[in-house]
Structure formats: structure tokens, C-alpha cells
Amino acid sequence: LFPEADSDLNCGPGRTRLRFEAVDGSALPHYRCSREMLQLEAGSFTTSQAFPGIYFFRFCWAYACLPEALQANELNITAEVVEVPNGGFNVAENSTAVVLDVIAPACTLPSALVSVNNNQGATFNLPASKGSGRLLEVAPTNGSTVTALSCSTAVNTTCDDNDLMVLMYTAYKQDPQPIVPTSSCTCYAPPDGDGDCPFPQIPITLETVTSNASLGISYQQCIDPANFDYYRGEMAFSFCWRYKCLPDA
């Protein structure tokens, strides 16, 4: 585990203070010093190149490394102030958003809070919820800076010897798109006799919903493939359906 905080409960340069405390308040908090938020560089997590716009903060826990009074308790682990390197994310254009991504095991209950302009601006909250796949899109006003975040997770003894990571990066904030008229869905052609679609289209299968799968009816159509927008950095894939275009069955 990370080194303990000093007698004044402080951590040295390049370190972020972690607070370990029993959920039921039965023991005194314990403080450790994890590494600070870092830029994702060549060699980080077996990557082969640097990513100047991506930062990560990671910490781990092991009950055996904590004071005995905490070793049988459900814990809250909190990184109180995680400073964003290089002065923070400056939001220079309205089209830029800052995305916070939490990667954690299913046994955790992570949450996070993002601060703008050294707490002088808005704060954005990611409520507690189990496990990974959590995204928080922060869209401060033009010219403001995302300077710090705090993150916390609840764990218990069945969630021992694990870790949690927070990724922070910028992304293009797409303008709202107009609603697609319901009548704009084309009638896609079916595949040929061999089940193949003309390049670059791909087959999609539509099936009826029945209580017995052997009684269901399926029908294939050839739809357009996914497209990658190089300038926006987005992969878009979509398809539509129209009953008028399907067999009567």
C-alpha cells in the first residue's frame, strides 16, 4: 500500500492524500499518500505512445496494510483533493467537454466531484453507483478551467486487494442534432442468395418475438456500415426499420 501521511497528516510533493475511515465511525481515520494524477504517457499500461490530453488517477487498497481497527469494517476511501496537472483543463472552446470516466470493480461504490476554477466556479457531481462504466461530462463555460476533483468509494472485506482509476480527458461536444423524421427510413435490400451484402454494406437480422424460438420468423436486410468522423473523433453506427419494408409475416 502507499506510504502513510506524516504526523501532521500531510503528504509530500507528487502525492495525494487518501483517507480510510470506517463507515460506522468505530475507528479513527487512517491516512495514506497515493501518487498524484498523471498524464497518460508512453509505457503507461502497456501503451506505445503518449496521450497529452488524457490524465489518470489511480489508487488501491489492501485490508492487511491498514490498522487493525479498520480491518473488519466496511470502509469509505476518499481522495480529498486530486489536482489536475499543468494547471488544469482549460476549456478554450464551447465545443470542448471534459469527460470523467471511473474504472472500478463491481464490488465498489464510487463517486466523484469535479471542481472548476479552484472551487470558484461550478462543481459537477457523479453520484455513487456500483462498478465501472461511469461517465460524467463536464461542460464549463468558455474560458474556465477544470482544476481538481475528489473521488470516494465504499468497500468491504469481500472487496479486498483491489484498485480504482479515474480517467479525465477532453472530447468534442456535439451540437444537438435534429430529430430524424419517422418516414425517412429507406427500404434496405435483402442479401443475395448466399447471404452476402454488396460492399460495404453489412447484413442485419430482424426476428419475430415468440414464446417458442423454433416458431419465429427472421428476415435479413443490408444496411450501411459504421462511419468514422476523423475531425470529431466519433464512430457512428445506426440503422432504422420500417414495417412497410418487411414481409407480411
Give 209-249 pLDDT, tens digit per residue. Answer: 776 666 678 889 998 888 877 666 778 778 888 888 888 76
Q: What is the pLDDT of residue 160?
A: 94
Helix, strand, coil % in the chain, rounded to nearest 5: 10, 40, 50
H runs (alpha helix) in 25-171:
none
What is the pairing mode between strands 202-207 and 162-172? unpaired
Strands 123-126 and 54-61: unpaired
* Percentage of the chain lying above the pLDDT 70 cut: 75
For residue 123, is pLDDT > 70? no
Q: Please determine, for residue 143, whether its predicted confidence score (pLDDT) is greater than 60.
A: yes
Q: Report the alpha-carbon distance of residue 76 to residue 66 in Å, rounded.
A: 13
What are the φ/ψ torsions at residue 34 (nearest 5 degrees)?
-85, 175
Please tell me the distance from the alpha carbon of residue 211 to that of residue 75, in angstroms, as a whole number: 46
Judged by average pLDDT, the poorest of 2-6, 22-26, 211-215 is: 211-215
pLDDT digits (tens, 9 = 90+) for 62-109: 999 999 999 989 999 999 899 988 877 776 555 567 778 888 888 998
DSSP 8-class letter at 4: B
Q: What is the mean pLDDT of residues 36-54?
A: 65
Rg (CA), the chain: 25
Q: What are phi and psi of 70, to 5 degrees?
A: -100, -10
Cα–Cα separations (whole angstroms), residue 99 to 91, 114, 228: 12, 10, 20
DSSP letter for each residue of 195-229: S---TT-EEEEEE---SSGGG--EEEEEEPPPEEE
Quote the mean pLDDT of the chain: 81
Q: Which comes out higher in pLDDT, residue 233 or 43?
A: 233
Task: Give the three-class secondary structure for 116.
Answer: strand
Longest dimension (CA), the chain: 78
For residues 205, 206, 208, 214, the Cα torsion angle rounded to the nearest 10 degrees is -10
Cβ–Cβ under 8 Å, residues 107 and 85: no
196 Cβ contact partners less than 8 Å away, ≥ 6 residues apart: 203
pTM as predicted: 0.65
pLDDT on residue 11: 94
Nearest-angstrom CA–CA distance, 124 and 92 = 18
Q: Give me the phi and psi of 173, to 5 degrees please.
A: -90, 105
